[in-house]
């Protein structure tokens, strides 16, 4: 079997070779025979003609001695067996050879130029100027041809056989070499296929097979490098990475996985994932469970066997390996993240308590002083205390806003949704901000251009916070005695609230920065407006949380209009309370 | 291939059309001609004569010759030929030794031999030739060899003879000074290129002698002999015969008898011939 390829090549080419050589030999022998016969006839013709010419004078002169001499010379040639010379009176002047003339004439009579098997006879009449001088009969042995042909046949077949033999040996050696090389390549390919990336073929020649071996080695090297790269990518990943087959058996995993589940390479490959952990407190999970639950990443918990529950984010990606479904599963340990969030919460808590408490105390003390608790204040003291009060109030606002922002960004804000009608919302908003507008000598007006009894499902306090932000901004930027309009109108399924002022407006260049943190329309040091630059950011977070949209229109020195939309609650027509 | 085919075809035709070699129901007579050139040339020149003779006499004649004069002499001596055309010397021997009789010869024709020397030679007379080497074409050449030899012998001269095979060889060797003197005949001398001819001088010219004889063996029936003589002497009288004679460089033939060669006999030639052996 080892040499089946070689034997196939040798046998098939040898058969073709034999067929070809046979055809060539047969053709050659046929040609040779024709040539030999042609040569023979030519020779017969030439000898007969020469003998006739040489004998003519002697024949005319009846010079028997010379004729005999000529005839003897002729029969000395072993191929010429008969020489008969007759004069013009029919007298036999020369008669050499075994056959008698009557017998010879029978052959010649039938056909003058046909071989009779052993001797070919020719007759020639010698005429000189139409005068019959005599005639000659010559017998030529055809054994010359047959022996030549036989010798040629033997020689040709001999040479062909030797050639075929040598050719077959050469072919066998060549095909054995090719077969062996193919076999080596096959073994190498198998080794590489099972993952033996260090297997290399010796490259001993520069021919195609040598090149093939070299190419295979190069491929193995490349695969090795690719695998190394892939393994290093997988191993250096921050997440645990595990490839599972349809039976949720581990096909591949990385070092993070080993560390997370306190195991090692040899112990996990081919084993079920459930042997190493529970997911969401269960070990009853299968391929579909993982795929459906985690095809979009989800936060959950896993508990390594014999270990403690870990908060994780899992994402499963379906991949196909060798035509079979697999899951590439990332498991990200969220423990550290949770810890940092907790630290941040604690920090915020510290800030809220440690900053706000003294600030409140400061503000309380200042207000008590302004209220005359420590006696009547003179004008200068009152002014200074008013300044302290205003700044402490601003500082409290800033702290509150920062805390709010932190809450919104970590998604830690809890919303209490309930139904409120449009009319109430608008009225309350105007009422709530009336005092503030008075401070700036700005009038508030409300316009409800829709059904006031339509309900919105909102966190009332947060929406009030949004409206208050927008109204206070509008008031701040409005000129004295100007009007800020608070409106509500319907747009399809949405209720749109707007707050419009005729203030300084926002420069076109700043439009894109309006919802960024700490943005101030008037960033000059002499600005008269007060704020933290966080209000619009907080408002956007709140509107987003209600599934709505917030936007604005503004022309510098002409004023601004801020809008936000909230979906109208369906199937609830009237306030129940 | 065409040559080969035509040979095959001609051979086949020969067997189909021409009957196999002569059945020889009719008596044939051999007619031998002394070899003067190659056998094939002899056939070419003489076969029309033989055919004419056969046709005119109604008898069958077969052309014969020999490869050498010596062989011809032997066959004459053995009386193998029925008819033979031979030189005068052969004839007088054959008549005496082999029962041949002359029946015809060329009319008004005499054989003359010449001896030539170089134009610059100081030899002026044949009396000066004693002891000299003389070039001759061949021992059996009657006019060019036998005649001068016989004459010189009669004059009591002893010379060395050198046979150079052809008349041309005689003339050129003498011209080049290889030999002082050479034997020839007027016809061949006149046929020489001018350059060679001018370098030579005719030293001596023989008298005219009776030419070659048409002889018949005594065994041939007299009526056949008579028929042959009649045809021969009448040949020049018809166009065909005249043409044949012309090819043989003869004018006409006449009836002859042995006594006509007495001039030759008178020379007492001693040259050896194979006829007598």
What's the whole-number mean pLDDT along residues A136-161? Answer: 83
With respect to residue A220, please indicate whether it lies within any of the assigned structural domains: yes
What's residue A407's pLDDT? 74
Together in a domain, A540 and A449: yes
Total number of domains constituting chain A: 5
CATH code of the domain containing A485: 3.30.565.10
- In b/e form, how buried is each residue of A333-357, taking b as 16+ CB within 10 angstroms? bbeeeeeeeeeeeeebeeeeeebee
Identify the top-confidence range among A51-60, A191-200, A339-348.
A51-60
Query: Quick check: A27 pLDDT over 60?
Result: yes
On the question of a common fold for B24-109+210-265 and B114-205, the answer reads: yes
Query: Quick check: B3 pLDDT over 70?
Result: no
Please judge whether B40 and A135 are an interchain contact, meaning their C-beta atoms are less than 8 angstroms apart: no
Together in a domain, A395 and A430: no
Instruction: Name the DSSP class of A132.
Output: E
Please judge whether B44 and A129 are an interchain contact, meaning their C-beta atoms are less than 8 angstroms apart: yes
Phi, psi values for residue B183, rounded to 5°:
-100, 140
Stretch among A135-144, B20-29, B172-181 having the lowest mean pLDDT = B20-29
- DSSP secondary structure letters along B208-261: PB---EEEEETTS-HHHHHHHHHHHHHGGGSHHHHHHHHHTT---EEE--GGGG
With respect to residue A85, please indicate whether it lies within any of the assigned structural domains: yes
What's the whole-number mean pLDDT along residues A178-198? Answer: 83
Together in a domain, A392 and A442: no
From A96's Cα to the closest Cα of chain B, the distance in A is 20
Please judge whether A125 and B14 are an interchain contact, meaning their C-beta atoms are less than 8 angstroms apart: yes
With respect to residue A171, please indicate whether it lies within any of the assigned structural domains: no
Distance CA A153, CA A147 (A): 10
With respect to residue A202, please indicate whether it lies within any of the assigned structural domains: yes
| Beta strands per DSSP E along A202-297 | 240-244, 250-253, 277-279
A138 contacts in chain B (CB < 8 Å): none
Query: Which of B3, B47, B67 to mutate against chain A (most A CBs within 10 Å)?
Result: B67
Identify the closest residue of chain B to A87 by CA–CA distance. Answer: B21
Q: Measured between alpha carbons, how far apart are the two ends of chain B, in Å? A: 51
With respect to residue A423, please indicate whether it lies within any of the assigned structural domains: yes
Query: Which of A47, A50, A55, A60 to mutate against chain B (most B CBs within 10 Å)?
Result: A60
Q: Model pTM?
A: 0.49
What's residue A488's pLDDT? 94
**pLDDT band per the 50, 70, 90 thresholds, residue A482:** very high
Which of A298, A333, A368 is the endpoint of a domain? A333
Which of A293, A308, A333 is the endpoint of a domain? A333
CATH top-level class of B24-109+210-265: alpha beta
CATH code of the domain containing A258: 3.30.450.20
Stretch among A89-93, A342-346, A415-419, A502-506 having the lowest mean pLDDT = A342-346
- In b/e form, how buried is each residue of A358-374, taking b as 16+ CB within 10 angstroms? ebeebbebbeebbeeee
Residue bearing the bigger pLDDT, A531 or A153: A153
Identify the closest residue of chain A to B32 by CA–CA distance. Answer: A61
Together in a domain, A142 and A18: yes
Distance CA B111, CA B104 (A): 16
Together in a domain, A398 and A383: yes
With respect to residue A165, please indicate whether it lies within any of the assigned structural domains: no
What's the whole-number mean pLDDT along residues A514-521? Answer: 79
User: How many CA within 13 A on the CB side of residue A140?
Assistant: 24
Per-chain mean pLDDT for chain A: 84
Together in a domain, A254 and A360: no
Chain A contact for B137 (CB, 8 A cutoff):
no
What's residue B15's pLDDT? 42
With respect to residue A282, please indicate whether it lies within any of the assigned structural domains: yes
B62 contacts in chain A (CB < 8 Å): 88-89
Distance CA A506, CA A473 (A): 12
pLDDT in tens, A332-347: 888 888 888 778 777 7
Architecture of the B114-205 domain: 3-Layer(aba) Sandwich (3.40)
CA B250, B254, B259, B263 dihedral sign is negative
Together in a domain, A423 and A557: yes
Asked if A559 and A503 touch (Cβ cutoff 8 Å), the reply is yes
What's residue B18's pLDDT? 40
From A126's Cα to the closest Cα of chain B, the distance in A is 10
A58 contacts in chain B (CB < 8 Å): 39, 67
Please judge whether B43 and A133 are an interchain contact, meaning their C-beta atoms are less than 8 angstroms apart: yes
From A44's Cα to the closest Cα of chain B, the distance in A is 10
**pLDDT band per the 50, 70, 90 thresholds, residue B106:** very high
Together in a domain, A28 and A87: yes
Domain ranges for chain B: 24-109+210-265, 114-205
Together in a domain, A390 and A525: no
Asked if A87 and A57 touch (Cβ cutoff 8 Å), the reply is no
With respect to residue A31, please indicate whether it lies within any of the assigned structural domains: yes
Q: List, as ranges, residues 200-229 from A with C-beta within 8 Å of B.
A: none
Chain B contact for A89 (CB, 8 A cutoff):
yes
Stretch among A111-115, A558-562, B19-23, B38-42 having the lowest mean pLDDT = B19-23
Please judge whether B65 and A45 are an interchain contact, meaning their C-beta atoms are less than 8 angstroms apart: no
Together in a domain, A70 and A46: yes
Query: Quick check: A383 pLDDT over 80?
Result: yes
A45 contacts in chain B (CB < 8 Å): 3-4, 7
pLDDT in tens, A215-238: 888 888 888 888 888 878 887 778
Q: Measured between alpha carbons, how far apart are the two ends of chain A, in Å? A: 95
What is the domain extent for residue A434? 418-567
From A70's Cα to the closest Cα of chain B, the distance in A is 14
Together in a domain, A222 and A250: no
């Amino acid at each position: 079997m080892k040499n089946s390829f070689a034997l196939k090549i040798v046998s098939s080419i040898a058969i073709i070779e034999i067929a070809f050589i046979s055809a060539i030999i047969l053709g050659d022998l046929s040609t040779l025979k024709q040539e030999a016969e042609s040569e023979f006839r030519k020779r017969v013709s030439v000898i007969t003609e020469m003998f006739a010419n040489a004998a003519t004078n002697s024949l005319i002169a009846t010079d028997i001695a010379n004729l005999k001499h000529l005839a003897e010379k002729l029969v000395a040639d072993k191929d010429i067996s008969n020489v008969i010379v007759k004069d013009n009176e029919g007298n036999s002047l020369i008669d050499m050879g075994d056959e008698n003339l009557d017998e010879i004439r029978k052959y010649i009579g039938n056909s003058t130029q046909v071989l009779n098997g052993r001797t070919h006879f020719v007759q020639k009449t010698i005429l000189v100027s139409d005068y019959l001088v005599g005639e000659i009969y010559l017998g030529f042995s055809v054994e010359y041809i047959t022996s030549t042909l036989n010798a040629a046949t033997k020689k040709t077949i001999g040479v062909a056989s030797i050639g075929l033999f040598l050719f077959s040996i050469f072919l066998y050696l060549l095909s054995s070499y090719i077969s062996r090389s193919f076999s080596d390549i096959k073994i190498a390919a198998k080794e590489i296929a099972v993952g033996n990336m260090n297997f290399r073929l010796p490259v001993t020649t520069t021919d195609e097979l040598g090149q093939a071996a070299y190419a295979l080695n190069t491929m193995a090297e490349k695969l090795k490098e690719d695998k190394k790269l892939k393994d290093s990518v997988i191993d250096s990943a921050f997440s645990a990475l595990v490839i599972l087959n349809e039976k949720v058996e581990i096909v591949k995993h990385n070092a993070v996985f080993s560390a997370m589940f306190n195991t090692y390479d040899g112990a996990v490959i081919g084993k079920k994932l459930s042997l190493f952990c529970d997911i969401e407190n269960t070990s009853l999970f299968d391929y579909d469970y993982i795929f459906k639950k985690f095809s979009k990443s989800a936060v959950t918990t896993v508990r390594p066997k014999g270990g403690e529950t870990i908060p994780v984010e899992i994402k499963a990606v379906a991949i196909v390996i060798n035509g079979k479904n697999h899951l590439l599963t990332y498991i990200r340990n969220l423990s550290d993240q949770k810890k940092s969030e907790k630290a941040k919460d604690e920090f915020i808590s510290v800030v809220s308590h440690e900053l706000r408490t003294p600030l409140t105390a400061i503000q309380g003390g200042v207000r008590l002083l302004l209220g005359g608790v420590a006696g009547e204040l003179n004008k200068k003291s009152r002014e200074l205390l008013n300044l302290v009060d205003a700044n402490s109030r601003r500082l409290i606002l800033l702290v509150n806003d920062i805390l709010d922002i932190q809450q919104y960004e970590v998604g830690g804000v809890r919303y209490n949704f309930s139904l409120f009608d449009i009319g109430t919302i608008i009225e309350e908003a105007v009422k709530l901000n009336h005092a503030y507008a008075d401070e700036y000598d700005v009038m508030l007006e409300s316009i409800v251009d829709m059904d006031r009894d339509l309900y919105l499902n909102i966190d009332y306090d947060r929406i009030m916070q949004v409206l208050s932000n927008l109204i206070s901004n509008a008031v701040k930027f409005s000129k004295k005695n100007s009007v800020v309009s608070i409106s509500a109108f319907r747009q399809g399924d949405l209720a749109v609230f707007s707050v419009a002022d005729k203030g300084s407006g926002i420069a076109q260049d700043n439009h894109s920065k309006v919802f960024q943190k700490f943005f101030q329309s008037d960033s000059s040091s002499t600005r008269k407006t007060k704020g933290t630059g966080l209000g619009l950011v907080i408002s956007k977070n709140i509107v987003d949380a209600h599934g709505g949209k917030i936007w604005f229109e503004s022309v510098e020195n002409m004023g601004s209009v801020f809008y936000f939309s909230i979906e109208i609650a369906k199937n609830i027509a009237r306030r129940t309370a | 291939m065409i040559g080969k085919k035509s040979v095959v075809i001609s051979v086949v035709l020969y067997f189909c059309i021409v009957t196999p070699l002569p059945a020889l129901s009719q008596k044939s007579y051999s007619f031998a001609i002394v070899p003067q050139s190659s056998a094939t040339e002899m056939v070419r020149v003489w076969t029309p004569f033989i055919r004419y003779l056969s046709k005119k006499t109604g008898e069958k004649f077969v052309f014969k010759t020999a490869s050498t004069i010596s062989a011809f002499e032997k066959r004459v001596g053995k009386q193998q030929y029925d008819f033979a055309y031979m030189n005068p010397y052969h004839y007088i021997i054959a008549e005496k030794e082999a029962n041949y009789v002359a029946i015809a010869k060329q009319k008004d024709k005499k054989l003359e031999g010449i001896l030539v020397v170089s134009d610059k030679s100081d030899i002026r007379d044949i009396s000066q030739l004693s002891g000299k080497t003389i070039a001759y074409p061949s021992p059996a050449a009657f006019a060019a060899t036998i005649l001068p030899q016989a004459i010189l012998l009669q004059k009591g001269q002893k010379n060395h003879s050198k046979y150079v095979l052809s008349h041309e060889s005689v003339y050129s060797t003498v011209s080049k000074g290889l030999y002082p003197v050479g034997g020839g005949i007027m016809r061949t001398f006149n046929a020489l290129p001018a350059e060679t001819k001018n370098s030579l001088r005719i030293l001596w010219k023989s008298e005219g002698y009776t030419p070659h004889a048409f002889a018949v063996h005594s065994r041939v029936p007299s009526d056949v002999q008579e028929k042959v003589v009649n045809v021969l002497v009448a040949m020049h009288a018809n166009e065909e015969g005249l043409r044949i004679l012309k090819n043989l460089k003869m004018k006409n033939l006449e009836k002859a008898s042995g006594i006509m060669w007495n001039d030759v006999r008178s020379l007492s030639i001693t040259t050896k011939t194979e006829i007598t052996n």
